[in-house]
Structure 1
Amino acid sequence: MSFDADFTHPMVRLGKRAFDIVVGLVATCVLAVAFLPVALAIKLTSRGPVLYRQLRVGQATPTCTHLFYLYKFRTMYVDAEARTGAVWATANDPRVTPIGRFMRKTRIDELPQALNVLKGEMSIVGPRPERPAFFAKLETEIPFYTERTFGLKPGITGLAQVNQGYDASIEDVRSKVSYDHAYAMRLLDPLDWFKTDVWIILRTATTMVLGKGQ
């Protein structure tokens, strides 16, 4: 697939990476403080590792689409998809542990992604990183799906995430793609980008504090 040029403003590119490093370091400090109590809660309520890593689709370039391992606190039972394979999340998902539900509502499970941000694999704000198992199907069924991450790293949060939450179907993803492209347009102007990222961060913080995640 061919792509047009990346139109991200140079100041936005520098500012976005600087913002990622600063916020990523703060989030890593929070992760260090929260790790022990969260690890104990996970271990006491279900068997399995505290952390898990999952292959995700990252930034696209003119020559390739990068893959990376995303880090999260484990919120599902071990071997939750052993029989079903990769499936969409659902309301009251039976694969999720009791403490996992709390972590998802408060977004605590996503704290380890600060490591992905510091490694340069993700950004604080950007499109949702999709699983390769879904990517090929979505690329076929949704126009301009792949272009949503061209020149743009996937994010822990983003314009689509704060407006819709988790994906439960292809139609959910189809709706999110428009948000992802709308966000990309904000990167043409430094002030527009800054105001949008601040708004997204505030919306995400509100979700965490009020436990409105899914």
Structure 2
Amino acid sequence: LPVGDRPTTQPVTQRREPNNYEWQTRHRDILKHIEQNPPKAVILGNSITHFWGGEPAGPRSSGAKSWKKIMEPAGFQNLGYGYDRIENVLWRIYHGELDGYEADKVVLMIGTNNMGISPDKDIVEGLRFLIRAIRNRQPKATVKMIGILPRREHEDWVKNINRQIRTMANEENCLFSDAGTTLLLPTGKIDESLFNDGLHPNEKGYQLIAKTIAED
């Protein structure tokens, strides 16, 4: 399996929230669920995806209504794991989460947990590596990169790195959507009424980004 020279291109597991959920248990549950219900669309992500909705159910669901109304009818399987970083998604791709079925669409929404740990260049190149790994396993699927969603006190960083991610996605002939701009005030700061904690959207926030994420 290809491994790059940056930490974000080297697959690794994680266990950062054992009091919240078990990472390996979720991985096994997802593989079983996929085998029994081959999806036509998947979304790979972190806790923002994990705690949105769908099956296998996470420890909480903050956007169940929009998941049920928009994501579920679009055929999406939730492949989000709380506190995942880019390199953790790579491990999951290398260990079966895109195998054994043919998807029409793969959406990638990851990277915010690499902030402050990985240099911006490593984040962008890690995402490029993920896109290529996805295409290797789902060559017929449309791949869509969602820009990192805005977060409290880091709005400028998100805006700047999303410019770089957009450029990279264009270079890879990958769709890109900066869905998180709908969660901002005219000042460029996050709209606190759309978030639970400055990072994770609430139901209203998920409703605003769901259609953009699900559409072709």
Could you state the TM-score of these two structures normalised by the residue count of structure 2?
0.29
Greater helix proportion: 1
Task: Name which structure has the greater RCO, CA cutoff 8 Å, separation 6+.
Answer: 1
